[in-house]
Structure 1
Amino acid sequence: MPSAVAGQVADLVAQLQAQGLPVSGEGGLLQQLTKLVLESSLEGELDAHLGYAKNDAAGRGSGNSRNGKRSKTVLTEAGPVQIEVPRDRDASFEPQIVRKRQRRLDGIDGMVLSLSAKGLTTGEISAHLAEVYGASVSKDTISAITDRVLEGMAEWQSRPLDEVYPVVFIDALRVKIRDGQVANRPIYLALGVTVDGQRDFLGLWAGEHGDGEGAKYWLRVLTELKNRGVKDVLMLVCDGLKGLPDSVAAVWPQTVVQTCVVHLLRNSFAYAGRQDWSKLAKDLKPVYTAPTEAAAFDRFAEFSEKWERKYPAIVRLWTNAWAEFVPFLAFDVEIRKVIATTNAIESINARLRRAVSARGHFPTEQAAMKCLYMALMGLDPTGKGRGAWVRRWKPALNAFDIHFDGRLTRNN
């Protein structure tokens, strides 16, 4: 820091001590320090541009010189700060620390993106900046800032992926999107578990209103993943999505499709009266905890005999899902806990739902995808819980490599 600036900083600190100058807020120490640093940096940039310092005799006859200053207010993390921007005579000076027409420092943009990723609406972000920093930022400006992530989202959605994933979870959440009229649209998320036990968000896809996805839709999504480098998926866990098993077979013929047992249970309860839920849960537990497929079939026969007359739809639900329900029964009970449900992805979806719930509905599909992408990027894959996630998967991955004849180690 130049000695002159250091002296001014010392003066400000002394003023704070002597006069009780506030640290933050209007006219506070942080604002004044920010102004001092920005103006000093701008002067230094102009020195470098002209090739000589202010009042230096070397500038005489150089062909360009200083030409006064102009006032400008920029929004900073310390609040709005009015600075004096130096100019040169031939207007060739292009400052970088605070660019021409720039009204916000990058820290504010990062703050807006962070708040948006945590699920705050544009109105809530605007109110937060006004309350905490005394900064006036319009909703349109906030929306424009968050639009900058669209390029990154496109790159993320098309980035290369690993060659093999032991497990891929696919789940959906419903989002209200206004397209002529407000309608519930499914947004699908694919979460892969890597051979090291790490989680990898593979992509987000917007489905159509109703049940129009089917095999053709899923064939396009899975082919996209294959084109991005995924040569093999050992097991794909889902919630009985229409057309998905047929599409999986077309893209990765060896992949086992596993229906999420938790979803199967929830869908069963939807057909039953609340007074029977606990009884149904008790009678279904021997089916999905059976040691073998044959034992599960026997327990299901007992369940059907007891409940088919009252709830035939539940029996039909399990019968239709049987082929995708039984694969996990080939594994140890502890292994089943991590591959038989979409709990791993549902916890992430809970975060995504919080991000969209405050918005009511989105004006466009792009707006919805932007919100979800930012919320997803706001999840720290190296943060709290990462170690537990990896440790939970290690026994499963060892069992996978044995059960699937070394396909994990052959691909790596």
Structure 2
Amino acid sequence: MDTLQDKGTLENLPFREDGTIDVNEMMRRGLEATVNQIMDWQADEICGEGNRRNGYRERRLMTVLGEITMRIPKLREGTYFPDELVRPYSRVDRAMVGIVKEVYVRGLSTRKIEKAADALKFGSLSPSRVSRMTADLDEEVAALNACRFDGTDFPYLWLDATYLNCRDEGHVQSKGVVTAIACGEDGSRRFVGFDVAGTESAVSWKAFLRSLRKRGVKGVKCVVSDDHAGLVQAIAEVFQGAAWQRCIVHLERSVAGWFSKKEDKAVAAAAMKAVFAERDPQLVRAAYRQATERIAQLKGRAGELLEDAEADALAYLDFPYGHHVRLRTNNVQERANGEIKRRTKVVGAFPSVGSMMRLVGAVLTDVNEEWLHAQFMDAASLKDVVKSETNLEPIPDEIIEKARICVTTAIEAKLGRAA
């Protein structure tokens, strides 16, 4: 140790205030020295007879270790630029771009990135610079919405819309971002498309669904969604023959919205929970009708809503039992929308539609990568999905009685706990 100190080695090492060696700064200095040495060697090789070096020009380069100063050799004749070390039109190396892209996608605002970069000794990193650095995300967004799906079928499709604030035409507007998740024959799920829709209408939904069809989304047997305006009509026209499953979670919320009394709301919730806890299709249908009657006694309009929604709320019963849990709700979309909201929350209002599309697209691409190797549904059960015909035979009296007991017991249990 004394020998090292005599040579001044320790004196040249960077120390923190607490006396420990700043390893990051030591590596940054080493990188800077190495880069400059390489450039000197390269310039010497270029300089032949009749040409000489003519000083240096300095240029700063952002790296994952921090900012380094490059002393680029100047030549009396010709030019030298270290293309292997730095791209001509960017002072930010690929690793740095990757990091900024990652934190941007993870929901860190550009101003927060600037603060984080300063703390990490990345040097000056302004919001405008971060925005330029993340512009290459546009390529990934375009790839997501341009990907073709020839050669495979997607039996099931989940659709939804979420709303984000975006500045457009001089003021902040709420923009609907529509997304589509599909389950392929291999049992995996993926986002197959997204778009910004000014209004939720049959026209906008048809345009979106047609874009999916054009890129090869076919073989759709069932589409799951909430009761969005114009969507049911669009599904019927674009995916002819496909069933529409109305999300039962959203249906339950719509029913609950008709009640002001807490007790009545609890009764309705218990009745519907009892319905969807059953497995046998006939029993589910009988229980649904029993629940509709009980709820109608409390609120006629709520009962009418359930009566009108029966065929669509129970569409999942016509598909294989193992698929029921996935098909009867739009939970897969709800979770994805939650991730979009979480990651975009720090932005507040997007400065443009383009910036909103860029970040949302990057989030969806990230989610797709997470889903890539995860089995969502059993592949073997998806190979020949066939929608069975709804059993229109009268439901036997014993099943109707069983359904009545099922719903009544659930309601009484809820009221008993409430009491």
Q: Same fold (TM over 0.5)?
A: yes
Gaps of 5+ in 1: 1-10, 406-412
Cα drift, residue 141 of structure 1: 0.6
**Residues 309-318 or 173-182, more deviating:** 309-318
Structure 2 residue 341 is matched with structure 1 residue 353: yes
Correspondent of 2:236 among 229, 246, 249 = 249
Cα drift, residue 117 of structure 1: 0.5
CA distance in 2 between counterparts of 1:53 and 1:299 reads 86
Tell me if structure 2 keeps the 8 A contact 1:173–1:188.
Answer: yes
Structure 2 CA distance for partners of 1:234 and 1:45, relative to 1, 3 Å: farther
Q: Which amino acid is the alignment partner of residue 244 of structure 2? A: V
Structure 2 residue 180 is matched with structure 1 residue 190: yes
Structure 2 residue 37 is matched with structure 1 residue 40: yes
Pairwise mapping of residues 210-249 of structure 1 onto structure 2 (< 5 A)? Answer: 212-249=199-236
Tell me if structure 2 keeps the 8 A contact 1:25–1:133.
Answer: no
Cα drift, residue 284 of structure 1: 1.0
Cα drift, residue 332 of structure 1: 5.3
1:245-290 C-alpha deviation (Å, 9 max, x unpaired): 2222222213222111122222222222344333212111233344
**Structure 1 segments of 4 or more deviating over 6 A?**
none
1:208-236 C-alpha deviation (Å, 9 max, x unpaired): 1xxx4322212111111111122321221
Structure 2 CA distance for partners of 1:404 and 1:293, relative to 1, 3 Å: closer
Structure 2 counterpart of 1:328: 316
What's the Cα RMSD here? 2.8
Length, aligned pairs only: 374
CA distance in 1 between counterparts of 2:155 and 2:306 reads 26
Structure 2 CA distance for partners of 1:142 and 1:16, relative to 1, 3 Å: farther
Structure 1 counterpart of 2:356: 368
Correspondent of 2:159 among 165, 170, 173 = 170
1:45-68 C-alpha deviation (Å, 9 max, x unpaired): 546xxxx366xxxx114xx54332
Tell me if structure 2 keeps the 8 A contact 1:15–1:21.
Answer: no
Structure 2 counterpart of 1:155: 143
Correspondent of 1:128 among 102, 113, 116 = 116
**Residues 37-46 or 15-24, more deviating:** 15-24
Q: SS of the counterpart of 1:120?
A: coil
Structure 2 counterpart of 1:21: 14
CA distance in 2 between counterparts of 1:45 and 1:287 reads 77
Structure 2 CA distance for partners of 1:195 and 1:301, relative to 1, 3 Å: closer
Tell me if structure 2 keeps the 8 A contact 1:16–1:29.
Answer: no
Structure 2 residue 340 is matched with structure 1 residue 340: no
1:348-384 C-alpha deviation (Å, 9 max, x unpaired): 221111112122211222221112112223336347x
Structure 2 counterpart of 1:408: none
Tell me if structure 2 keeps the 8 A contact 1:199–1:381.
Answer: no
CA distance in 1 between counterparts of 2:128 and 2:11 reads 42
Structure 2 CA distance for partners of 1:297 and 1:404, relative to 1, 3 Å: closer
Tell me if structure 2 keeps the 8 A contact 1:164–1:230.
Answer: yes
Gaps of 5+ in 2: 16-20, 389-419
Tell me if structure 1 keeps the 8 A contact 2:185–2:382.
Answer: no
Q: SS of the counterpart of 2:207?
A: helix
Structure 2 counterpart of 1:201: 191
**Residues 171-180 or 310-319, more deviating:** 310-319
Tell me if structure 1 keeps the 8 A contact 2:187–2:382.
Answer: no
Tell me if structure 1 keeps the 8 A contact 2:144–2:365.
Answer: no
Correspondent of 1:268 among 238, 248, 255 = 255
Pairwise mapping of residues 300-315 of structure 1 onto structure 2 (< 5 A)? Answer: 300-315=288-303
CA distance in 2 between counterparts of 1:35 and 1:19 reads 15
Cα drift, residue 182 of structure 1: 2.4
Tell me if structure 2 keeps the 8 A contact 1:75–1:105.
Answer: yes
Structure 2 CA distance for partners of 1:102 and 1:91, relative to 1, 3 Å: farther
Q: SS of the counterpart of 1:253?
A: coil
**Residues 189-198 or 112-121, more deviating:** 189-198
Tell me if structure 2 keeps the 8 A contact 1:46–1:95.
Answer: no
